[in-house]
């Protein structure tokens, strides 16, 4: 049996974060929340997650900056990041994807669609993540 999908939610809107926790927990995910960008980065650098949801407009630092920084950190370098944002213009979505996110979900979002996209990306990442040892990379 496979472990639960581990999701990190980086969201400073507490009611929205709690909604996300509830629906993802109900879908069988193990969820952790960070209410600031700095806290989210610290958690993501210490704990491996299957997927990270990241608000672009956090109060302390832009989600775009966090995404770029996480791509430089070993533990989160390959973790799929999905932006969750109140910005719904095409140029905002493009900026998010250019920052190396795998998806962009505009607020407000349909809960069922949200769950599908999160679980689907985590599943794809799980299949894509190679199982190798350090010796394998030196051959």
Residue 75 domain-assigned? Answer: yes
Domain range for 25: 6-138
State the pLDDT at residue 134.
36
Give domain status of residue 120, yes or no.
Answer: yes
Domain-located, residue 1? no
Q: What is the 3-state secondary structure (H, E, C) of 21-71?
A: HHHHHHCCCEEEEECCHHHHHHHHHHCCCCEEEEECECCCCEHHHHHHHHC
- Domain annotation covers residue 31: yes
Per-residue pLDDT of the chain (139 residues; tens, 9 = 90+): 457 899 999 999 999 999 999 999 999 999 999 999 999 999 998 999 999 999 999 999 999 999 999 988 778 888 999 999 988 788 888 888 888 899 999 988 999 999 999 988 887 776 554 433 333 333 3
Determine, yes or no, domain membership for 106: yes
The pLDDT, as a whole number, for residue 39 is 96
Residue 18 in domain: yes
Assigned domain for 90 exists: yes
CA distances, 59 to each of 5, 11, 26, 74, 76 (Å): 27, 10, 28, 26, 22
- For 44-82, write each residue's pLDDT tens digit: 989 999 999 999 999 999 999 999 999 887 788 889 999
CATH number of the domain bearing residue 93: 3.40.50.2300
Q: Give how many domains the chain has, as a whole number.
A: 1
């Amino acid at each position: 049996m496979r472990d639960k999908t581990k999701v990190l939610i980086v969201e400073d809107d507490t009611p929205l974060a709690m909604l996300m926790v509830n629906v993802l927990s109900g879908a069988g995910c193990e969820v952790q929340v960070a209410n600031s960008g700095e806290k989210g980065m610290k958690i993501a650098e210490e704990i491996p997650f299957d997927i990270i949801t990241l608000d672009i407009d956090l109060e302390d630092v832009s989600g775009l900056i966090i995404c770029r920084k996480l791509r430089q950190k070993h533990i989160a370098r390959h973790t799929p990041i999905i932006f969750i944002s109140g910005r719904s213009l095409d140029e905002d979505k493009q900026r998010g994807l250019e920052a190396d996110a795998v998806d962009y979900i505009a607020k407000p979002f349909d809960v069922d669609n949200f769950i599908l996209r999160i679980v689907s990306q985590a599943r794809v990442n799980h299949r894509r993540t190679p199982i190798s040892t350090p010796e394998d990379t030196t051959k």
